[in-house]
Structure 1
Amino acid sequence: MSVNVRRMACTPEQVFAVLADPWVYPTWVVGASRLRAADDRYPAQGSRLHHSVGVWPLVLNDETRIDEWDPPRRMVLEAKTRPFGTERVIIDVKPRGGGCLVRIEEYPHTGIVTKLPGVIADALLHVRNAETLRRLEWVARGRAEH
């Protein structure tokens, strides 16, 4: 399991405005290359994002399901990474001063990714999610300025 925490210069509501907009998902999620569609009910529990991962011509179509949506506090996702399996992603947001503290926890949930040695999987996820949180803050702050 990988855990990353970042103090952000934006409010929990600004973070959740980004999380609620499916069309910016590839902007802040490292590895997502494009969004193909989103369920009409997104981000309601059980709704899905249909996205692609990778760089052309090595692009795979995948999907992410919302398992919990509790703005502006918590979001839980199940992200598919075909053909490797699924990952569980938990995003917790807490107000801190004029900003917030965002914690992302990710771990392999099903498939071959669960067979990777924990140290390797955690290291890869940690580096990826540090950049993911950095991008999430940039998008939240940029949206707030407009």
Structure 2
Amino acid sequence: MAIRHQVIEHPPEAVWAVLEDPELFGEWVVGTSASWALDERWPQIDAALAYSVRLGPWSYEGRTVVRRTEPPRWLELEAESGRLGTARIAIEMRPWGGHTLVIVDEHPLRGLGGVLHAAPLDLLIQLRHRSMLPRLARTVERTSPKADTAGPPEKRSPATQVGG
């Protein structure tokens, strides 16, 4: 399974504020070049956002649907990727002192990805998450009002890696 976690030095509400903005997904989801809401209900259950992926001259548009939401604690998504099938992406936010422990659990769910799901695919997803979680932390840092976190400013960092 591809599970990874990271502490983000902002409260869960600040992380949630980024997750509930469909246009910000393109900033922190690795591989996505842009994202936008398909309806006004995001992130309510069955609401969807669209995303685009560009690789050189090629581009692809996919769709991600909310399957479970409990603000500011849970967001579970089903990302649709055409012939590759769908993936389940669960994002959990736990209060961690004045910060947030973000846990991402992603795995292929349906279609070709689900059929071919094996350890090498989990490794690729882990590598993606290794970049994605720090990008999420930077997006939260950029979009959140400045809060006085522990320690002087020169000793602060936007995120602290916990492992995974």
| Length-normalised TM-score, structure 1 | 0.94
1:73 equivalent in structure 2: 73
| Structure with higher strand content | 1
Which whole-Å deviations, capped at 9, do the CAs of 1:54-90 have from their partners, x for residues lacking one? 3242111110000111111000000011221100000
2:16 equivalent in structure 1: 16
3-state DSSP of counterpart to 2:133: helix
Is the Cα–Cα contact under 8 Å of residues 68 and 77 in structure 2 kept in the other structure?
Answer: yes
- For the pair 1:34 / 2:31, whether they are aligned, the reply is no
Distance 2:117 2:83 in 1: 18
- Structure 2 residues not aligned, in runs of 5+: 147-164
2:64 equivalent in structure 1: 64
3-state DSSP of counterpart to 1:31: coil
Provide the aligned length of Structure 1 versus Structure 2. Answer: 146
Distance 1:37 1:89 in 2: 18
Over the aligned positions, Cα root-mean-square deviation in angstroms equals 1.4
Q: CA deviation at 1:34?
A: 1.3
- Structure 1 residues not aligned, in runs of 5+: none
Is the Cα–Cα contact under 8 Å of residues 22 and 36 in structure 2 kept in the other structure?
Answer: no
Q: 1:10–1:112: structure 2 CA closer, same or farther, 3 Å change rule?
A: same
- The within-5 A match list for 1:55-134 is 55-134=55-134
Is the Cα–Cα contact under 8 Å of residues 86 and 109 in structure 2 kept in the other structure?
Answer: yes
Q: Which runs of 4 or more aligned residues in structure 1 lie more than 6 Å from their structure 2 counterparts after TM superposition?
A: none
Which whole-Å deviations, capped at 9, do the CAs of 1:6-49 have from their partners, x for residues lacking one? 11111100000000001111001011111254311111110000
3-state DSSP of counterpart to 2:83: coil
Which protein is bigger by CA-based radius of gyration?
2
